[in-house]
Amino acid sequence: MMAQTRRDFIKKTAALSAASLVGMQLPVDVNTMARAAEDEAWHRGTCRLCGVGCRVELGVKNGVPFALRGVADARTNYGYLCMKGMHFWKCMGHKDRLTKPLYRERKADPFKEISWDKALDIAAERFSSAVKAHGGNAVAYYGSGQCLTEETYLFQKIMRGGLKTNNVEGNPRLCMASAVGGYMTSFGADEPIGGYADLEKAHCFFIIGSNTAEAHPVLFRRIMRRKLDNPEVKVINADPRVSQTSRIADKHLQFKPGTDLSLLNAMAKVIIDEKLHDQQFLGNYAVFKQGKEAKAASFDEFAQFVAPYTPEAAAKTCGGTITADDIRQVARWFATSKGTVSLWCMGINQRKQGVWANNLIHNLHILTGQLMKEGADSLSLTGQPNACGGVREAGGLCHILPGHRPVEKEKMRNQVEEAWGIPLGRIPAEPGLHTMDLFTAVNKGTVKAVWINCTSPAQSLPNCDLYNKGLASDDCFIVCTDIFKTRTTEYANLILPTAFHFEKTGVYGCTERRSQLTRKAIKAPGEAKPEVWIAREWAKRLATKLNDPVIAQCVKPFDGLEEDFALPQAIWDEYTQKLTKGRDNDLRGASYAVLGRMADGVQWPAPTEEFALKGGTVKKFVKGLDPMADSESKNDLPYQFYGPAHEDRKLWIWLRPQAEPSEVPDADYPFYLSTGRIIDHWHTMSMTGRIPELLRANPYAYVEINPKDAAKLGIKPGDMVEVRSRRGVNLLPAKVYEGPIEGMVFVYWHDQEQTRMINKVTKDDYDPASKEPEFKICAVQIQRVSGPRPLTPFLV
């Protein structure tokens, strides 16, 4: 059956392969195809925004961008784009772009323009004096799932190998950490087994805690197309809110926030009771585990564990409109369809039990064998364009090194040190500070200097006012690399202007293990520079100031290379050739030359160029499709689960109970607050807030209230409402509609205006396993405020 999948796959993508072959044979690079007029060119790259990874072409005339369009033969998007994707290029020539380094010694001082030379000198001086006085752990790098892989890789190399600290973190801790924890503990390997190709083959979609329609619009379009063409395809949507995604659902399961662990366990119980599990798949590939020590359990123990989660009991826990029969129905659809794909995102990850909730979704796939066949996958949606490629794969979190290597394993550290040509033992054995501990340490004054790159924690951290106190203090030196001023640059000592997407070269790796190259197509404004240049030049100065040849060694391979292409290429080559060899994310075949020829990049594992030129691995662990499954094969079974974290090479089904969120409503704070996204804005709105076509649609945040609650509180649409928690307060206009379940309100978190920054209100408690904060649930009181309140967007 899988051999047929491969044939099907090749047939379906024949045109695409032909395109790649053309690229192979001709000396033309498909990334820059001159069209029509000689001065007009279309440059191929990836969308700057979400984790779908749509392939785009930027139209440039006389050095100025004028349009952006989708690439029709790209397997990520088949030409489609969403509104934000079509418009992000308008950030390129924007009048607000940062164009010169800015500096102030104290945070109360005004900023002054300074030269790059001076700026880098100051950054090196402040970091090296902190290291001299207090050791490597007194400094930190805080990056982003929106950095290019080359940027994340180089910064973490300088921090770990050069400054001897694992204080390398980034915003994926706020986002994907629970998904990583789920994949590692259930499958022994991070990142999805299948990918988008499964969407067109699926017969049932289980969408839980994901507003795919607004957060991954192009994938939603593919799901909708599949359902339109095949009305028998079932769509289940499980979310405490009726969202834009629910509109295509055959069944919407609406429940009290945080109760869905019960729902998932009840689905498992129905599956077992009705004997819908796949005994043979379980026998060949799965074991059962429980507790912190991952103690072995039996099938019977699992059955006993889920026994109390009867559909009736779960329906009661979940509240809302769910009935026991709904739960039976969706469990049957899930188990018996010819192929079920689950999709989830922050409604599952940003939870006190984020890893457990991930495990419970994987459980259903392992139990039913809805995993390895075509049209089936347990597919975690990634939020940012390069959280997978840059951060999860290239060492962007405090506990992981490049190539999916855990920091705490000495052998893994030594492999990295050898690849870098630095003394063994140079990289500290202890993981660094995770995000919430890092900003707590800034508050305490124990971290003396932080480099914040491509992210705006002053707005995106939960309970942000608490952490902004530390950022505001002169005890901590803050460098921000950004393209615009943000809420975070308000706390900076040094603001360094960087080149934007398409103004520099590098790779993004999206949700489905796919790496795609974007080459520089236009010049950055003013003196803005690519981060790889900034990092290299900074490291050279650190080496001098600390008189440490090992720091110099970290950037020596990149010495003198021009920053537009040769430098990022050399960084990519070092990372892929030296540090992905033999790892599950083997990318050795995906050189810039190969990526440049592909319409849509390469899915790892892709150990050879020949294999990469065919597109790489569509489905991991399948012999005949995944070269590592073949090379690692230990038996005659069709699948080989070689995931690095499970030595037994098995899939683990976990016994995980329902548990309470960190904060639930009570008499004083009687409502659940949940926060999330809308289709036309991106995070802190630094980009989308500056694009009139996007801002006009949603100029300011509002609070969604269920009509029954609004009636009880005398709130009418448009009334100004105070949303108050134990931590802070917002003042927002009301949107009254049947979205959130009764007893719950929802606010999008994009708005930068101080009275509408919802992270003043959210709670900063986190999942003890993944350290990911519970942005999705806290308790608030809401109250109508009388009198006129003028509403102004933060940017006009």
Ligand X SMILES: Nc1nc2c(c(=O)[nH]1)N[C@H]1C(S)=C(S)[C@@H](COP(=O)(O)OP(=O)(O)OC[C@H]3O[C@@H](n4cnc5c(=O)[nH]c(N)nc54)[C@H](O)[C@@H]3O)O[C@H]1N2
Q: Which residues form the interface with ligand X (CB under 6 A)? A: 50, 144, 146, 171, 174-175, 208-211, 214-215, 238-241, 243, 257-258, 260, 345-348, 350, 383-384, 453-457, 460, 481-484, 486, 498, 500-501, 531, 674-677, 679, 681-684, 686-687, 749, 758-759, 762, 775-777
Return the amino acid letter for 638. Answer: P
* Nearest approach, Cβ of residue 89 and ligand SF4 (Å): 11
Cβ nearer to ligand X, comparing 166 with 453? 453
Distance CA 170, CA 391 (A): 8
Residues 779 and 674 sit within 8 Å (Cβ to Cβ): no
CB of 335 to ligand SF4, least distance (A): 30
Q: What is the DSSP string of 310-340?
A: -HHHHHHHH-TT--HHHHHHHHHHHHHSS-E
52 binds ligand SF4 (CB under 6 A): yes
Listing DSSP states for 755-767 in one string gives: GG-GGGTS---B-
Strands (E), 55-127: 55-61, 64-70, 102-103, 112-113
Stretch of 76-84, 147-155, 431-439, 540-548 lying at the interface with ligand SF4 (CB under 6 A)? 76-84
Per partner kind, with CB cut-offs from 5 to 8 A, the member of ligand X, Mo ion, ligand SF4, none near residue 481 is: ligand X
* Strand order through the sheet with 494-497: 112-113, 102-103, 494-497, 477-482, 449-453, 139-143, 168-170
- Is residue 373 involved in binding ligand SF4 (CB under 6 A)? no
Q: Where are the alpha helices (DSSP H) in 167-247?
A: 177-187, 212-215, 217-229
- Out of 82, 197, 242, 364, the only residue in the binding site for ligand SF4 (CB under 6 A) is 82
Closest separation between CB of residue 282 and ligand X, Å?
Answer: 26
Instruction: Say which residue the tokens 């379009």 belong to.
Output: 221
Amino acid at 214: E
Tell me how far, at minimum, the Cβ of 190 lies from ligand SF4, in Å.
21
CA distances (Å), origin 513, targets 123, 406, 487, 489, 747:
35, 19, 32, 33, 31
Tokens standing for 785? 């405020």
Which of residues 252 and 405 has its CB atom nearest to ligand X in the complex? 252
From candidates 50, 120, 123, 747, binder to ligand SF4 by CB under 6 A: 50
Asked if 427 is part of the footprint of ligand SF4 (rule: CB under 6 A), the reply reads no
* Among ligand SF4, ligand X, Mo ion, none, partner that 57 touches (CB below 5 to 8 angstroms by kind): none
Q: Residue count of the chain, please give it.
A: 796
Residue type, 504: K
Cis ω before 605 (30° cut-off from 0)? yes
| From 9-17, 75-83, 321-329, 691-699, span contacting ligand SF4 (CB under 6 A) | 75-83
The distance from CA 80 to its chain's CA centroid, rounded to whole angstroms, is 21
Piece of 49-57, 415-423, 648-656, 683-691 that binds ligand SF4 (CB under 6 A): 49-57
Which positions touch Mo ion (CB under 5 A)?
175, 383
Contact 161, 420 (CB under 8 A): yes
Nearest CA among 740, 741, 759 for reference residue 749: 759
Tell me which of 23, 45, 65, 85 binds ligand SF4, using CB under 6 A.
Answer: 85
Evaluate whether 189 touches 644 at the Cβ level (below 8 Å): yes
Per partner kind, with CB cut-offs from 5 to 8 A, the member of Mo ion, ligand SF4, ligand X, none near residue 218 is ligand SF4
How far apart (Å, rounded) are the C-alpha atoms in residues 231 and 248?
10
Verify cis geometry, omega within 30 degrees of 0, for the bond prior to 740: no
Size of the site for ligand SF4 (CB under 6 A): 13
Q: Which is nearer to ligand SF4, 52 or 249 (CB)?
A: 52
- Tell me the closest approach of the beta carbon of residue 514 to ligand SF4, in angstroms: 12
| Minimum gap (Å) between residue 52 Cβ and ligand SF4 | 4
Q: Which residues contact 649 (CB under 8 A, 6 or more apart)?
A: 188, 634, 640, 641, 642, 643
Q: How far is the CB of 579 from ligand X (least distance, A)?
A: 23
CB of 49: closest distance to ligand SF4 in angstroms? 3
* Candidate segments 82-90, 342-350, 422-430, 554-562, binder of ligand SF4 by CB under 6 A: 82-90
Q: Residue 584 binds which entry of ligand SF4, ligand X, Mo ion, none, with Cβ cut-offs from 5 to 8 Å by kind?
A: none
Question: Which lies closer to ligand X via its Cβ, residue 481 or residue 516?
Answer: 481
Per the listing, tokens 């900023």 go with 111
Helix (H, G, I), strand (E, B) or coil at 681: coil
How near is the Cβ of 497 to ligand X at its closest, in Å?
A: 9
Residue identified by tokens 């067109």 is 200
Q: Does 54 bind ligand SF4 (CB under 6 A)?
A: yes
Q: Which CB sits closer to ligand X, 427 or 741?
A: 741
Q: Which does 355 bind (CB under 5 to 8 A by kind): Mo ion, ligand SF4, ligand X, none?
A: none
CB of 488 to ligand X, least distance (A): 7
Restricting to residues 206-225, name those near ligand SF4 by CB under 6 A.
217-218
User: Considering only CA atoms, which of 3, 417, 245, 424 is closest in space to residue 235?
Assistant: 245
* Exposure letters 120-142 (e unless 16+ CB within 10 A, then b): bbbbbebbbbbbeeeebbbbbbb
Q: Is 81 in the site for ligand SF4 (CB under 6 A)?
A: yes
By 3-state DSSP, what share of the chain in percent is helix, strand and coil, each rounded to 5?
40, 20, 45
47 binds, options ligand X, Mo ion, ligand SF4, none, Cβ within 5 to 8 A by partner type: ligand SF4
| Residue 365 contacts residue 307 (beta carbons within 8 Å) | no
Stretch that binds ligand SF4, among 44-52, 361-369, 614-622, 632-640 (CB under 6 A): 44-52
Q: Name the nearest CA neighbour of 49 among 87, 78, 99, 75.
A: 87
Q: Residue 511: which of ligand X, ligand SF4, Mo ion, none does it interact with, CB under 5 to 8 A by kind? A: none
Strand partners of residue 736: 705
For residue 199, state whether it binds ligand SF4 (rule: CB under 6 A).
no
Could you give the angle at which helices 531-545 and 116-134 cross, rounded to 10 degrees?
50
Chosen from Mo ion, ligand X, ligand SF4, none, partner binding at 81 (C-beta under 5 to 8 Å by type): ligand SF4
Least distance CB 355 / ligand X (angstroms): 14
Q: Where are the alpha helices (DSSP H) in 196-257?
A: 212-215, 217-229
CB 386 to ligand X: min, Å: 11
Distance of closest approach, residue 486 Cβ to ligand X, in angstroms: 4
**Least distance between ligand X and beta carbon 54 (Å):** 12
Residues 156, 603, 345: CA angle, nearest 5 degrees? 70
- The residue type found at 19 is A
* Cβ at position 171, least distance to ligand SF4 in Å: 17
Closer by beta carbon to ligand SF4, 255 or else 748: 748
Backbone dihedral angles phi then psi of residue 529, each to the nearest 5 degrees: -130, 150
Quote the least distance from Cβ 218 to ligand SF4, whole Å: 4
The three-state secondary structure class of 207 is strand
Residue 687 interacts with ligand SF4 (CB under 6 A)? no
Which of residues 58 and 710 has its CB atom nearest to ligand SF4 in the complex? 58
If the CB atoms of residues 516 and 591 are measured against ligand SF4, the closer one turns out to be 516
The residue within the footprint of ligand SF4, chosen from 16, 19, 41, 47 (CB under 6 A), is: 47
In the complex, least distance from residue 671 CB atom to Mo ion, rounded to whole angstroms: 24
Q: Between residue 467 and residue 526, which ones bind ligand SF4 under the rule CB under 6 A?
A: none
> How far is the C-alpha of 702 from the C-alpha of 240, rounded, in Å?
18
| 345 contact, one of ligand X, Mo ion, ligand SF4, none, CB 5-8 Å limit per kind | ligand X
Give me the residue whose beta carbon is nearest to ligand SF4.
Answer: 85
Residues forming contacts to ligand SF4 in the complex (CB under 6 A) are 47, 49-50, 52-54, 77, 81-82, 84-85, 217-218
